[in-house]
């Protein structure tokens, strides 16, 4: 995964999704997590992948710890 950036708040996770547009749309349904465990802060517009087919979308989440 990714390491936290300097100055990034605890619990903030930045995710890059890459794939076919329809598949990405399904994956952005991260909102299915229980309400108290996540909050989608930002979802970017789809960008065409540079070297591969499909698109990429960037999602910034705020996640609360929970039982693992």
Q: How much is the pTM?
A: 0.65
pLDDT tens profile 4-18: 556 778 889 898 988
What pLDDT sits at residue 29? 66
Q: Which of 9, 3, 15 is nearest to 60 (CA)?
A: 15
- Alpha-carbon distance of 48 to 10, in angstroms, equals 30
Domain borders along the chain are: 12-63
End-to-end CA distance of the chain: 17
pLDDT in tens, 2-53: 445 567 788 898 989 888 888 877 666 666 667 777 788 899 999 999 998 9
């Amino acid at each position: 995964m990714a390491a936290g950036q300097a100055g990034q708040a605890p619990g903030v996770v930045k995710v890059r999704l890459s794939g076919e547009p329809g598949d990405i749309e399904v994956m952005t349904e991260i909102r299915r997590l229980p309400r108290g465990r996540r909050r989608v802060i930002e979802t970017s517009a789809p960008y065409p992948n540079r070297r591969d087919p499909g698109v990429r979308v960037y999602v910034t989440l705020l996640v609360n710890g929970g039982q693992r």
